[in-house]
Amino acid sequence: MARILRDPSAVAANSAAIASMWIASKIGWFSVVTDSTRRGWLLIRARARADIFNLYRLHRQSCPSMTAPSSDEARDYRYRLSISQNDWIKLAGKLAAEVDYSNFKMAVQERVDQAGKNSAYAEIWWIMRRIQMEEPAPDAPPKRKTRKRPRSLE
């Protein structure tokens, strides 16, 4: 699940909103935003320690610019690391390639390090379903006209 949005809590020095992305993967939930202190770099943020360390442990070798995770109680996302834009592009592709399940919530539930997140993911699922159900139904595609073939008299 990737969702592009404007994150009002992530405001650059020039007060322009920063584009951000949420990534829900079976190794964790991440928020990705531009790093306002380093041009061409991004911050990958997580609320759970296991998530940021899963990402770091599994991908630091293939993404050499990835910094070690840090934590700061004063930040909205407690855990974060930095990564170059080029390494982020590689990492996003790797995360996409790791999709090996047909049901995301079940895949997360099977991981011990993601215990306790089932209700959070279910809540997100229900909220997004409600949004879907509140949208008007799409117009049905027009029926294709078929030409009637003349019947044979035989």
Query: Does any domain span residue 131?
Result: no
Domain that holds residue 48: 2-122
Q: Confirm if 39 and 26 have CB atoms less than 8 A apart.
A: no
Alpha-carbon torsion angle 72, 77, 82, 83, nearest 10: 170
Q: Would you state the pLDDT for residue 19?
A: 63
Kindly report, residue by residue over 32-90, the tens digit of the pLDDT.
Answer: 999 999 999 999 999 999 999 999 999 999 999 999 999 999 999 999 999 999 999 99
Structurally, the chain folds into a number of domains equal to 1
Q: Which long-range contacts link 11-19 to residues 24+ away (Cβ below 8 Å)? A: 12/36
Kindly report, residue by residue over 42-56, the tens digit of the pLDDT.
Answer: 999 999 999 999 999
Query: Does any domain span residue 57?
Result: yes
Q: What is the mean pLDDT of the chain?
A: 85
